[in-house]
Structure 1
Amino acid sequence: MENLANIASTLGDRFTTNVQSTFENMSPQKWLRVVIVAGAYMLLRPYLIKLGGKVQMDTHEKEAIEREEQERLAQKGKISPNDLRGLMGKVEVPEDTDSEEEEEEGNSGVGSGADWGKNARRRQRKMIKKLLEAEEKRLMETKEMEEDKDIEEFLIKD
């Protein structure tokens, strides 16, 4: 703890000594140089800010024009891999890209890295179709059973 206190006091002493000696050793020539640099900065700062804003606005406009051009190309379907890399996630993928013919070919089950989502959608669709068909079959059977019961009422029993 004493070591930390010694370091803090040493730093404080050196800081005050250095600042004090800096102002004591300043000649009129050095003061004039400081005033000229500070004045020039204050005079030129607004112009530098305006110039920076103008350059930034130009770059934003160029990027917007390039983005619109890439989107227009993407809508036409004429997009190159380089254009696609520039869009980075702004291209919308259609929801249902796979067709029923592909589903019947038996491609589902084997998935590569790129086809995993498509195969999962196919499996999900197949499962939903099977469930719907089973439900329809069950409803048809119950409906037939109800019709049979209605017919039994009218049959004559001896």
Structure 2
Amino acid sequence: MSDSDPQPSISEMLATGLSNFKHNAKSSIEHLGGRDWIRIIMIVGTYLLIRPHLVKYGMRKQQKAHEEAEAATAGTGAEIHPNELRGGKKFAIPGVNDSEEEEEEAKPAEWGKKARVRQRRFIRGRLEEEERRLLDEQETESDKEIEELLTR
């Protein structure tokens, strides 16, 4: 183009592109022969038959990838072993400070803070219930031992 030729506007370019697309699509469909139609039908039919199998294959691959990622993050399993609960000793819950609830610093709002506090309270409550249950079992067991000694 030379400097004297005005550049077409965006709307003119879009209109030209649209008219070219219509003309090319119409002429390509008009000039299809019987063999071309059969070829198109075969391609579309094959796609429709194979697609469900491809989707299932993709789902299996994705599920395996998720399981591998989950296994990698799981690591060794539980951080607290059940035998540690029986000893009656206190232990720290990961990511929890006792003073954290009392001394909340001015931090930007974090998503899920209430949920974390609720979960922390739930875990503490369950641990206390478990400790009480174990103490009751120990007391009843010691009472039975004393009763056996007295009845002999």
Q: Which has the larger radius of gyration?
A: 1
TM-score by length of 1: 0.41
TM-score by length of 2: 0.42
Q: Is the helix fraction higher in 1 or 2?
A: 1
